[in-house]
Structure 1
Amino acid sequence: MKAAIVRAAGQPPVYGDFAEPVPAAGEQRIAVTAAAVSQVVKGRAAGTHYSATGRFPFVVGIDGVGRLDDGRRVYFAMPAAPFGSMAERAVVPAARCLALPDALDDVTAAAIANPGMSAWAAYAERARLQPGETVLVNGATGTAGRLAVQIARHLGAKRVIATGRNPAALQEVAALGADATIPLAGSDAELEDRFRQEFAAGVDVVLDYLWGRSAERLLTAAAKAAPEAVPVRFVQIGAMSGADITLPAAVLRASAIVLMGSGFGSVPPARLLASIDALLQATVPAGLRIAATPVPLAEFEQAWPRDDSTRRTVFTLEAPAR
């Protein structure tokens, strides 16, 4: 079968032929129709993500959309190694297949599942967001951050604050439901002061997709906010601005900040899958929006190097004839 394959460490994936997967007991064979590129997928392909196995060769991709042998349309996650989702076929444990709503198209489902899950699981499983609370999304101009703003609103957040490095993109995020936007510009003192104003007014949950300098300023500002400020649940998801921060111990001693992560390892796989299911069921009724660029899998090598944080590349294949 045709697939996107990583043949050895340090080599980019290539389009080529790979062995057909054979389902074992309890597994489903899926004819893949759509599979999206994500930071996790790129990290695993490069061997830099913490979930990479280091075994070669393997097919790229951790999730996608396709048809079971009986024709049912499903979203699927974590195909059995060495098979991935960017191939004509995959095999997946039956428990990792989710029926798709009829109104949700394949490309949107494949595009939204991973970035949307990052926010849905952070809100529902880690922060335990309650209706009426205030959310701050740090790094809201990328695909995942834009969804985090929309999902916060759908889950009942009273107020949503968005930060980002691109002022023009922040205006687009405001149109998606952010009540206030904060450009990540100016000196550390200026940025911290702006954050402190928001925390003094009350911020319940922070979803952080950036880490780095802005996370340092956010945590420091939360600690310095007015004593009557509401305790903050700070959920770390991504590290687009750097893998490390410098955090004075006094920040945690002088505040009611609860610092946690969300992702593979911090949320059980079954609960991550439940978050994806809830997201997929809500996508059309809630009007959740994601920009996606469909590309035939045969053009994989040309499209793989492209990097656009505001649009999701989705590799597509023709649905099997029935």
Structure 2
Amino acid sequence: MYAAVVRSFDSGPKYELFDTPVPSGAHEALVEVLAAGLHLRVRAQADGSHYTSTDELPLIPGIDGVGRLPDGQLVYFVATDTALGSFADKTVIDLRRSVPIPAHADPVLIAAAMNPAMSSWVTLRRRVEAQPGFKVLILGATGNSGQMAVQIAKLLGASKVMAAGRDEERLRSLTRLGADVTVSLAGDPEAAAQRVGEAASDADIVLDYLWGEPAGLAMIPLLTIRTDRSRLLTWIQIGSVAGADAVIPSAALRSANFQIIGSGQGSVTPAGYLAEFPALIEAIAGGKLNANPIACPLSKIEEVWNTPAGSQQRVVFVPEN
């Protein structure tokens, strides 16, 4: 079979022939891969920087996709915890980490949207008790996952969505996706943090895709401007685009009803993720979430890897024919 193969973490994947994997367990099956998304998480997997990396090489990247089982059924699957990912003509999946997709669903759309949508969907349904009409601040709303989070928060009942990010073009587009308030993080970091505090002091939940300096700086303004500091603010750490570490002011934990939790692999069980897949797939397939995928042949991975798609597009690799 053909696959995108990483043989060194210092360089991107190459399109080459690779031995077709063979299922070995009772719950395993060989699937024909129809679509696999190039997510930010995949890039971290391919350069060995993600916290789940095992440093095993050679590596076929790709953490999820849509595949066809031997009986013809189409499924969305999360790749197994091996070096055999979804960027290949075929891959071995664990059937327990897959769900059927409806006949009307577009495999490319599902592959584009599931991973960036999953973080906020699972967080708001599994990591926090979001009350009807909740108000949410999304830090890093101009990233792929952040853009999906804006839409998902509205879909799940948010009465107010406040979106903060650096990319001015994407920030402007977020009002069409459901953002009620947008806040620019460009320029001086402390001034940006103050703007966040002034715009989102009534938030109940923060979905944080940035962490690092933006998170640490925003906490005090966000909490001290609140009219009712006794009302709980739950800060949920999801991504770390701005840095793996953040300086958390001690006053933030004392001056208001404030809690910090995380959401990701480990804090939510695999069974918890799997239980959310059907409803999320139906929302995507039903046109309730906008993903704007662009399909590319897997054979083009070397040029696509070094030339990211436009700001509003999500790359999905598909078979050559």
Q: Please classify the TM superposition score into its range, dividing by the shorter chain length.
A: over 0.9
Report the 3-state secondary structure (helix = DSSP H, G, I; strand = E; otherwise coil) of the residue aligned with 2:149. helix
2:12 touches 2:305 (CA, 8 Å); kept in 1?
no
Distance 1:314 1:21 in 2: 22
- 2:141 corresponds to: 140
**Structure-1 separation of matches of 2:313 and 2:239:** 17
**Corresponding position of 1:250:** 251
Q: For the structure 1 residues 302 and 102, does the alpha-carbon distance in structure 2 shift closer, same or farther, using more than 3 Å as the test? A: same
CA distance in 1, matches of 2:7, 2:56: 9
The alpha carbon displacement at 1:80 in A equals 5.6
Q: Give 1:286 shift.
A: 5.4
Match of 1:183 in 2: 184
Q: Which residue of 1 aligns with 2:79?
A: 78
- Verify: 1:197 aligned to 2:218, yes or no: no
Partners of 1:186 and 1:13 in 2: CA distance: 35
Partner of 1:22 in structure 2? 22
Say whether 1:59 aligns with 2:60: yes
Post-superposition shift, 1:196? 2.9
- Distance (Å, rounded) in 2 between the aligned partners of 1:133 and 1:80: 36
**Which residue is 1:283 aligned to?**
284
For the 8 Å contact 1:77–1:96, the answer to whether it is kept is: yes
1:213 aligns with: 213
Taking a change above 3 Å as real, the CA distance of residues 315 and 255 of structure 1, as seen in their structure-2 partners, is: same
Structure 1 residue 117: deviation in Å? 0.3
- Residue 315 of structure 1 corresponds to which residue in structure 2? 317
TM-score (norm 2): 0.93
Q: What amino acid is aligned across from residue 143 of structure 2 in structure 1? A: G
Task: Report how far residue 146 of structure 1 moved.
Answer: 0.9
Give the drift of 1:36. 0.7
Opposite residue 17 of structure 2, the aligned amino acid is D
Moved more, 165-174 or 62-71: 165-174
Tell me the TM-score normalised to structure 1 length. 0.93
Q: Residue by residue, what CA displacement relative to the aligned partner does 1:300-322 show, whole Å, maximum 9, x if unpaired?
A: 21112223454211100168xxx
Could you list the per-position Cα deviations for residues 129-151 of structure 1 after superposition, in whole angstroms to 9, with x for gaps in the alignment? 22211011111112111110000
RMSD (Å), alpha carbons: 1.9
SS in 2 for 1:59: coil
Q: Percent identity?
A: 40
The Cα of 1:191 is off from its aligned counterpart by 3.1
Structure 1 CA distance for aligned equivalents of residues 295 and 42 of structure 2: 16
Distance 1:45 1:137 in 2: 27
Which amino acid letter does the alignment assign opposite residue 130 of structure 2? L
* Structure 2: gaps (5+ residues): none
Q: How many residues align?
A: 318
Cα displacement (A) at 1:271: 1.3
Q: Specify the alignment match of 2:92 in structure 1.
A: 91
1-side partners of 2:300 and 2:200: how far apart?
47
Find the residue that maps to 1:84 and give its secondary structure. coil
CA contact (8 A) 2:7 2:57 kept: yes
Q: 1:132 to 1:71 in 2, by over 3 A?
A: same
Could you tell me how far 1:247 is from its partner in structure 2? Answer: 2.1
Asked whether the 8 Å contact 2:106–2:285 carries over to 1, the reply is: no
Matches for 1:230-269 after TM superposition, within 5 Å: 230-269=231-270
Q: Is the CA contact (8 Å cut-off) linking 1:40 and 1:49 kept in structure 2? A: yes
Query: Hey, what's the Cα distance between the residues in 1 that align with 2:72 and 2:210?
Result: 41
Q: Which amino acid aligns with 1:93?
A: D
Q: CA deviation at 1:280?
A: 0.8
Structure 1: gaps spanning 5 or more residues: none
1:150 partnered with 2:146: no
Find the counterpart in structure 1 of residue 164 from structure 2.
Answer: 163
- Residue equivalent to 1:36: 37
